[in-house]
Structure 1
Amino acid sequence: MTTTTTNPKQRLALRGDLLDFTSMPGWAQLDSPAVRFQPDHWLLIEDGRIVGTQAAAPDASWDREDHSGKLILPGFIDTHVHCPQLDVIASYGTELLDWLNTYTFPAECRYADPAVARAGAERFVDALLAHGTTAAVVFPTVHKTSAEALFEAAAARGMRLVTGKVLMDRHAPDGLRDDVAGAERDCIDLIQRFHGRDRLAYAVTVRFAPTSTPEQLAMAGALCRADASLFMQTHVAENRSEVEWVARLFPDARSYLDVYAREGLLHPRAVLAHGIWLDEDDRRQLAASGAQVAFCPSSNLFLGSGLFDWPAARAAGFRVSAASDVGGGTSLSMQRNLLDGYKVQAMAGHRLSAWAALHAATRGAAEALGLGGEIGSFDAGRLADVCVWDWARGPVAEARHAVARELHEKVFAWMILSDERNLLASYVAGKPQFRRRPDR
């Protein structure tokens, strides 16, 4: 007689102040029904998925972690960030095009070495987790090995990661150019090996229009048309000099965005970073395509690129997600980037609420990526990508938190005053992938 045993379910309950969103909050709505705040509740996680929340303590069949008085959020989703640019973060003194040539391209050349690529990928994904980011859309380099290293590092940690070999066949230094046929072979091989494996997804990754020939852009569009489940990531309309350069290189295109649209690169899984210098026709085209813009405020301020008009995007009807754009951006901390996002909008007379900002880094980003059924909220069935935060650290933040009157005031102060030092733990699919050292 043969007997079979079933493995008991892995059950974890986290206690704390649970905050997530059920839908998109109104732009300036501080008392929003889209906000779901459950103070002093238990988040129930079974086999890596959220199964519910409750006020009462669960029974002894659950492993319980008591984070009373701490803030628990879905893990942040960074929709535009460059792995190799950790090496050049906080580099001085140039605008976009000079910055690429002076700092970025030399750093990326080093990733042709598989050992450098592996070490960089490991450092990068661990840094994301240590900043409360549990999923990301990432640029590696033009080298196939850099994409492989990122996929493997993310898979080892169970992370949701979207990436793909960068396409660049012109206007780049030796060691950072590919060719159309070789790039296509590399993309197809990477797609077959990694797309849909574990929590990995492939993005057709056009660096930006100036560094791809029309032939390469056509190849990228063909890849997207052949498989609608593929993502696409690129840059658009970040800097005025860049926009002028694109106009000279593509005189038949109506706009920078149109360069991509003509090749079939605008679709519901397309992520376009920046989108500062768009016109009304561009905004309508984005909305019709289902593509999103990744708002990168820290980078836009640091490089002096311009101020993104988020209310205009909302009015046009296309989605906006939050992104760090490290290394043009100055921190992987999503709170620091949202702080800069508040400043960018304030410069144009708009006030970015904590709700609109945090939604764009959690549920809003997940839904824009077509991943709302997997991550971004505490809805039952979602994978438990979850982070636990101190409400306040240090005497200034603690005093501010103590006198905050209502929920938005408390959360807004947390968003403005906190950073990665507030993070206690990051969980990916219910498994701890980062814990703060006791002496921190």
Structure 2
Amino acid sequence: MSADLDDLTVSLDRAHVFHSWSAQGALAPLSIAGGKGCQVWDHSGRQYLDFSSQLVNTNIGHLHPKVVEAIQEQAALLPTIAPSTANLARGEAAKRIVERSPDGFGKVFFTNGGADAIENAIRMARLHTGRDKVLSTYRSYHGNTGAAVVATGDWRRLPNEFARGHVHFFGPYLYRSEFWATTPEEECARALHHLRRVIEAEGPSSIAAVLLETIPGTAGVLVPPPGYLPGVRALCDEFGILLVLDEVMAGFGRTGEWLALDAFNVDGAVVPDLITFAKGVNSGYVPVGGVIISDPVAATFDERVFPGGLTYSGHPLAAASIVATLDAMESEGIVANAKRIGQDVLGPGLRALAAKHDVIGEVRGTGVFWALELVSDRDDRTPLAAADMGRLKASLLDRGLLPFVQDNRVHVVPPCIVTDDEVDQALAIYDEALAAL
């Protein structure tokens, strides 16, 4: 291993690679040479504890041997094939995904990632209902492509508003309530009333779908209050609107459930019409995503052509990686580990940090999906300044932790395989960095 290789890596990157969501001139990317489990390292051998899961997608960790082996075996057998054919890996992957879905879902449309999963879910909803509008929240991220980025609520949609028929509303967020709520019950009731009024004002007969992240991720790990998602489902039923749940970030173990919706779907109260997925379904080892389609929506296209497709839909390497990932997650108890870690180790540890550091305004999350909201004043809840967040990020990196920092938040999102000792190590690093801040 050599620091010279790190220099070469960064030099080549800066000479030839155009980075996403960035002004290119001042970038100084971290050189990563390899990884295993919850660790990554550079060419000189410096290690980092990965508490970002990259983009919250390496749920099974880095270099899981069963997933790597499955990709290698598939590459030696059938590395690619047109999606109009049938291949065993894709069928097995779809079968496993359907088995982890609510009753009434029988088919999967595979895409290349989460953004085009959203695109095709919107397309299906519009064709099924004959309506046009899609409602989504301001605090959301659904992807970079045409309709997905306009469905997104944050700043990234503003330079990209080329798609039609998108309307935004406020979802629940008690810490910074738009509804003057002081309890979860008030926040839920008022957020649902707000959504009802938006539906009525937009015209129910014009709305194809309500699109929600089951738990908004990039927007702040905003766990919805009890009753909110069942309330949205009831509104959709009342007005004949489809409910699309975006599980791209929250699905497949991240929340300590197979799908994040499982925690809210008591007695069938939150069964959506379409479910989008990507990221954790194979930990990003090969690009893949998709739409899990309810039987009534799928039946729309029994005799009617679905006007959508991708060259790499259900790519054999991606499908093989899904099969290996989901089988390993089941046999190794990885989803259960994420749930236990959140309940017994990570959640209590983060709350202890909040009791110690006034800069932490709120701790929220579940499983291995948490956020620390940082403030300069707890009483006024003033978001911590960007310069201070930058200092904190640098401090965490200096101490050997790879963080996920967004706005005034640190998202604490390790792989689902994280151990108690690794959580304790990370908590100590957060503690030191917060104290230094």
Q: TM-score range by the shorter chain?
A: under 0.3
Structure richer in strand, relative to its length: 1
The TM-score normalised by the length of structure 1 is: 0.27
Bigger proportion of residues as helix? 2
